[in-house]
């Protein structure tokens, strides 16, 4: 490798060399210090590294497998770079190669490269792939993570400068809502008047835009709900509890860098190369953060796809991507358009749909692959029939074609759509997993344990304290609690200290006194233990002191109690595998990781069909993809269609685009004529997105069905004037002769003829629950319905379980299936 130092780059050399602007010495051994000394002393210099393609073999090997656009994206170092990466164009490949290239060929130490992703999962995958490229087992120095986790790290190191306690707790969304409820109570505002959800959205949106309560007061007119006041009070509650929420992580870091130049420079110098993935989903605060870090060295590389921006409701601003050049003049743009994932047919469908959008940079994906299979359209009478057909097809795919269930996915717009599918998956005995349903630590018992652990690190964590003050019940009822609350407010101290004081002054009596004493002493003991001890040891001590295994759980012998015990053990196992980096108390680190990592329920890794929302599907890919619920009002959701914002539907369309582009081999689109929403039955019309697809991508059987729904074809009715004219038309659904078998006739025939003995799929149209029906409850086992009551739409059933217990359920919410 040849390294040249220059103080300005002659344009004539630009094509032949890669240029890195540097104000720091390279720390890596590949570049001798003597050759870079000039760069530091003289402030800024250009370092040229000869183009990799014709240099040493290691580089060639590294970037050889990249296509020209990818290679350019991975190796361009001459200032700000914007990579527009279409779906399936090898984006992750480019980022990982870029990091490996920076490290191995330019000699940048890994800890100077910052790579930000949106999910922990993506970060983990990226870390693994980079390590693989570099040929090392693991590299702790690699600064890869989510915005939130990087901010947490920065704020812990800069706690003083940021005005935070070193051991601050991080509130997840649930804790945040709890805190808001507490504030509303304190301020005597009913939850009817100010819905906690809405307050939460308000506060989070304000924080994304770096607005303080005062700013809000100035910016917004007085509304009937005093949002700004609630926000202000909420911040006080958080400060008192030495806690910060998710959005604070971002806002405080940005404010720190904005107001404290020294701190900013410390980190800007540390992260000499900044990379941001999924840039189209960044919000204002995240944009500012990237800018504050990169504004000096301008070594920022962002990767995004405007067509996959689907998080505007969470504050993402697509304009961050569209206007990136304004923030970083002289930005070089590389477009990745060669798709390696999907068949030509799928790509054609995707491109045609997304072309309806106006907010685009514009790109045309192409593939060198074959046409592939045509798309299938599935029309059903209602959601149960829809689910059954899909289950049938899944059976066919896995049984007849030997498809690995892991390679099949079923997508939907919202979680509520999954219920019918889930039921049928069980009926057909198909293995499935729901991605992103219940988070593991959303369970009550895990939240309790986390609260104990939080207190062990930060005894002033009022929110945790309040949660477990009387869990398991230790005689501290509402009266005693309000006593503590008042004392805490009077003295301006935490609940923990207030309790201490009340005890000293003997103002707590009877059972409350004994209970509080035991609790306080236990917390003190946990605190001293937590300073050094292994997290698991702290947990064991907690379980012992609180007798949680017995008292914290309603009935350890019941089925629920049993699964709770299992969860506790699993949590303990999870803790045992945690490896702290050694900064501060290990338990504190564990809790931070816990708060930021939305770890899902454990997965045994057995092959399963995946059920997930489209939002959850971003970044993933499957051979076979079913997208259900393609109905007006469902997808696009009525909220978007009714919205005044023209771009609301564009975002829905991007969501559809994401769904389509996840599929590698075959895509199925499904529509149900009637859909049972949680509260009402609804006749539907097809989604406008179906009409935006070109007929040529569908198979002939599908086309026949579609033509029943869309009498005039695809927007070509001259009377109604062009594209999408028939969206608003009353459509006539003609059920097939035998609605339960067509177009699934072949599949059900197949199932009947199958040699393998397996339970027959259900015969009736809708699963009906009546007195005497044998049912299977997901958690509680099987039993018989003994009674049905309740008003229409809210039927309740009493189930007598086989083990003698019986319980009442609201039918439409209970996770039960006919046995």
Partner DNA sequence: CAATTGGGTTTTTTT
Partner DNA sequence: AACCCAATTG
**Residues noted as catalytic:** 91-92, 277-278, 308, 662
Candidates 89, 637, 684, 702; binder of DNA (CB under 7 A) is: 637
Find out whether 113 and 365 touch, Cβ atoms under 8 Å.
Answer: no
The nearest distance, CB 483 to DNA, in angstroms, is: 8
Using the rule CB under 7 A, give the single segment among 377-385, 699-707, 730-738, 772-780 that binds DNA.
772-780
Q: Is 413 in the site for DNA (CB under 7 A)?
A: yes
Nearest to 528 by CA among 587, 456, 469: 456
- By CB under 7 A, the count of residues binding DNA is 49
Find the binding residues for DNA in span 362-401 (CB under 7 A): none
Residue ranges of the alpha helices (H) in 260-382?
A: 261-270, 284-294, 319-322, 324-327, 344-354
Q: Is 220 in the site for DNA (CB under 7 A)?
A: no
DSSP 580-595: --SSS-HHHHHHHHHH
Candidates 323, 794, 802, 805; binder of DNA (CB under 7 A) is: 794
The nearest distance, CB 736 to DNA, in angstroms, is: 30
The nearest distance, CB 118 to DNA, in angstroms, is: 5
**Nearer to DNA (CB atom), residue 246 or residue 377:** 246
Place of tokens 């946990």: 526
What residues pair up with 808 in beta bridges, in sequence order? 798
Q: Is 708 in the site for DNA (CB under 7 A)?
A: no
The nearest distance, CB 116 to DNA, in angstroms, is: 10
Q: Is 613 in the site for DNA (CB under 7 A)?
A: yes
CA distances, 757 to each of 454, 751, 760 (Å): 52, 10, 9
**Nearer to DNA (CB atom), residue 78 or residue 175:** 175
**Nearer to DNA (CB atom), residue 395 or residue 613:** 613
Q: Is 431 in the site for DNA (CB under 7 A)?
A: no
**Nearer to DNA (CB atom), residue 178 or residue 392:** 178
**Nearer to DNA (CB atom), residue 48 or residue 574:** 574
**Nearer to DNA (CB atom), residue 393 or residue 650:** 650
**Nearer to DNA (CB atom), residue 220 or residue 813:** 813
- State the virtual CA torsion across 565, 567, 569, 574 in degrees, nearest 10: -170
Q: Is 436 in the site for DNA (CB under 7 A)?
A: yes
Backbone angles phi, psi at 377, to 5 degrees: -110, 130
User: What number of other Cβ atoms are within 10 A of residue 202's Cβ?
Assistant: 20
Cis peptide, bond prior to residue 743, ω within 30 of zero: yes
Residue ranges of the alpha helices (H) in 355-474?
A: 383-399, 418-427, 444-457, 462-468
Candidates 37, 265, 404, 473; binder of DNA (CB under 7 A) is: 473
Candidates 22, 75, 146, 424; binder of DNA (CB under 7 A) is: 146
Find out whether 346 and 366 touch, Cβ atoms under 8 Å.
Answer: no
Per-state percent for the chain, helix, strand, coil, to nearest 5? 50, 15, 35
Q: Is 814 in the site for DNA (CB under 7 A)?
A: yes
Nearest to 778 by CA among 425, 501, 490, 489: 425
The nearest distance, CB 298 to DNA, in angstroms, is: 26
Q: Is 809 in the site for DNA (CB under 7 A)?
A: yes
Find the binding residues for DNA in span 480-519 (CB under 7 A): 480, 511-512
Q: Is 674 in the site for DNA (CB under 7 A)?
A: no
User: What number of other Cβ atoms are within 10 A of residue 541's Cβ?
Assistant: 18
| Total residues belonging to the chain | 819
The nearest distance, CB 814 to DNA, in angstroms, is: 4
Q: Is 598 in the site for DNA (CB under 7 A)?
A: yes
User: What number of other Cβ atoms are within 10 A of residue 135's Cβ?
Assistant: 8
Find the binding residues for DNA in span 539-578 (CB under 7 A): none
Find the binding residues for DNA in span 149-178 (CB under 7 A): 173, 178
The half-sphere exposure of 538 on its side-chain side, counting CA atoms within 13 A, is 30
**Nearer to DNA (CB atom), residue 80 or residue 636:** 636
CA distances, 91 to each of 67, 79, 305, 309, 739 (Å): 12, 19, 10, 15, 44
Find the binding residues for DNA in span 100-129 (CB under 7 A): 118-120
Residue ranges of the alpha helices (H) in 241-283?
A: 246-259, 261-270
Residue ranges of the alpha helices (H) in 116-245?
A: 120-134, 147-157, 159-162, 173-186, 196-208, 213-219, 227-240
Q: Is 186 in the site for DNA (CB under 7 A)?
A: no
551 DSSP assignment = I
Using the rule CB under 7 A, give the single segment among 15-23, 222-230, 412-420, 768-776 that binds DNA.
412-420
Find out whether 119 and 619 touch, Cβ atoms under 8 Å.
Answer: yes
Q: Is 712 in the site for DNA (CB under 7 A)?
A: no
Find out whether 757 and 749 touch, Cβ atoms under 8 Å.
Answer: no
Residue ranges of the alpha helices (H) in 411-547?
A: 418-427, 444-457, 462-468, 478-491, 495-504, 510-530, 535-546
The nearest distance, CB 587 to DNA, in angstroms, is: 22
Q: Is 678 in the site for DNA (CB under 7 A)?
A: yes
Q: Is 182 in the site for DNA (CB under 7 A)?
A: no
The nearest distance, CB 543 to DNA, in angstroms, is: 20
Binding site for DNA (CB under 7 A): 118-120, 146, 148, 173, 178, 181, 191, 197, 246, 313-314, 413-416, 436, 444, 470, 473-480, 511-512, 598, 613, 615-616, 637, 639-640, 678, 777, 779-780, 794, 807, 809-810, 813-816
């Amino acid at each position: 490798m040849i390294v040249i130092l220059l103080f300005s780059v002659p344009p004539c050399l630009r094509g032949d060399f890669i240029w890195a602007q540097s104000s720091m010495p390279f720390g890596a051994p590949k570049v001798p210090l003597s050759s870079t000394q000039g760069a530091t002393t003289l402030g800024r210099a250009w370092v040229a590294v000869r183009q990799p393609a014709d240099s040493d073999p290691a580089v060639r090997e590294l970037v050889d497998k990249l296509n020209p656009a990818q290679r350019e994206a991975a190796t361009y170092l001459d200032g700000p770079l914007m990579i527009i990466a279409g779906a399936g164009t090898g984006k992750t490949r480019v980022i990982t190669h870029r990091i490996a290239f920076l490290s191995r060929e330019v000699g940048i130490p890994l800890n100077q490269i910052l790579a930000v992703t949106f999910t922990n999962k993506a970060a983990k995958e990226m870390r693994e792939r980079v390590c693989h490229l570099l040929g090392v087992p693991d590299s702790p120095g690699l600064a890869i993570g989510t915005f939130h986790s990087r901010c947490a790290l920065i704020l812990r190191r800069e706690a003083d400068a940021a005005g935070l306690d070193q051991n601050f707790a991080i509130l997840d969304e649930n804790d945040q809502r709890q805190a808001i409820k507490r504030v509303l109570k304190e301020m005597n505002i009913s939850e009817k008047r100010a819905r906690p959800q809405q307050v939460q959205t308000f506060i989070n949106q304000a924080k994304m835009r770096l607005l303080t309560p005062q700013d809000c007061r100035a910016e917004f007119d007085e509304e009937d709900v005093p949002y700004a006041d609630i926000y202000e009070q909420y911040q006080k509650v958080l400060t008192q509890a030495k806690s910060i929420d998710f959005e604070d992580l971002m806002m405080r870091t940005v404010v720190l860098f904005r107001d404290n130049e020294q701190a900013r420079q410390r980190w800007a110098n540390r992260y000499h190369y900044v990379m941001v993935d999924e840039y189209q989903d960044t919000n204002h605060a995240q944009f500012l953060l990237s800018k504050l870090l990169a504004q000096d060295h301008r070594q920022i590389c962002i990767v995004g796809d405007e067509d996959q921006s689907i998080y505007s409701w969470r504050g993402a601003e697509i304009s961050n991507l569209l206007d990136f050049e304004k923030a970083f003049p002289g930005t070089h743009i590389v477009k990745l358009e060669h798709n390696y994932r999907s068949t030509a047919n799928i790509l054609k469908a995707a491109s045609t749909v997304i072309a309806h959008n106006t907010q685009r940079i514009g790109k045309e994906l192409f593939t060198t692959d074959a046409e592939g299979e045509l798309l299938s359209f599935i029309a059903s009478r209602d959601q149960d029939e829809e689910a059954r057909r899909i289950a049938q097809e899944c059976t066919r795919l896995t049984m007849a074609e030997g498809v690995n269930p892991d390679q099949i996915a079923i997508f939907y717009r919202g979680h509520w759509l999954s219920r019918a599918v889930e039921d049928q998956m069980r009926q057909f005995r198909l293995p499935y997993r729901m991605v992103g349903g219940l988070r593991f630590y959303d369970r009550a018992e895990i939240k309790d344990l986390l609260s104990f652990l939080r207190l062990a690190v930060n005894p002033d964590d009022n929110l945790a304290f309040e949660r477990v003050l009387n869990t398991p019940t230790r005689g501290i009822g509402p009266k005693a609690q309000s006593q503590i609350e008042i004392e805490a407010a009077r003295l301006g101290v935490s609940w923990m200290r207030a309790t201490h004081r009340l005890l000293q002054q003997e103002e707590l009596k009877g059972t409350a006194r004994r209970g509080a004493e035991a609790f306080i002493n236990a917390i003190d003991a946990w605190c001293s233990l937590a300073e050094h001890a292994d997290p698991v040891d702290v947990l064991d001590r907690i379980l012992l002191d609180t007798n949680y295994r017995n008292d914290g759980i309603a009935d350890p012998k019941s089925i629920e109690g049993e699964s709770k015990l299992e969860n506790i053990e699993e949590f303990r196992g999870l803790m045992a595998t945690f490896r702290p980096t050694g900064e501060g108390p290990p338990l504190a680190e564990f809790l931070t990781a816990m708060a930021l990592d939305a770890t899902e329920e454990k997965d045994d890794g057995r092959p399963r069909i995946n059920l997930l929302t489209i939002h959850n599907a971003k970044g993933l890919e499957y051979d076979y993809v079913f997208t259900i619920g393609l109905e007006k009002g469902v997808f696009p959701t009525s909220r978007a269609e009714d919205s005044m914002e023209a771009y609301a539907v564009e975002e829905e369309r991007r969501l559809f685009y994401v769904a389509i582009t996840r599929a590698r081999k075959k895509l199925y689109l499904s529509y149900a004529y009637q859909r049972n929403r949680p509260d009402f039955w609804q006749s539907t019309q097809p989604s406008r997105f179906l009409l935006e697809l070109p007929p040529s991508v569908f198979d002939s059987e599908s086309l026949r069905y579609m033509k029943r729904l869309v009498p005039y074809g695809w927007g070509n009715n001259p009377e109604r004037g062009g594209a999408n004219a028939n969206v608003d038309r009353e459509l006539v659904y003609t059920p097939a002769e035998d609605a339960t078998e067509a177009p699934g006739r072949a599949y059900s025939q197949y199932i009947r003829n199958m040699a393998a003995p397996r339970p027959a799929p259900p015969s009736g149209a809708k699963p009906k629950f009546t007195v005497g029906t044998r049912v299977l409850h997901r958690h509680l086992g099987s039993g018989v319905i003994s009674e049905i009551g309740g008003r229409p739409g809210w039927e309740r059933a009493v189930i007598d379980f086989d083990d003698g217990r019986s319980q009442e359920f609201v039918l439409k919410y209970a996770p039960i299936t006919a046995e």
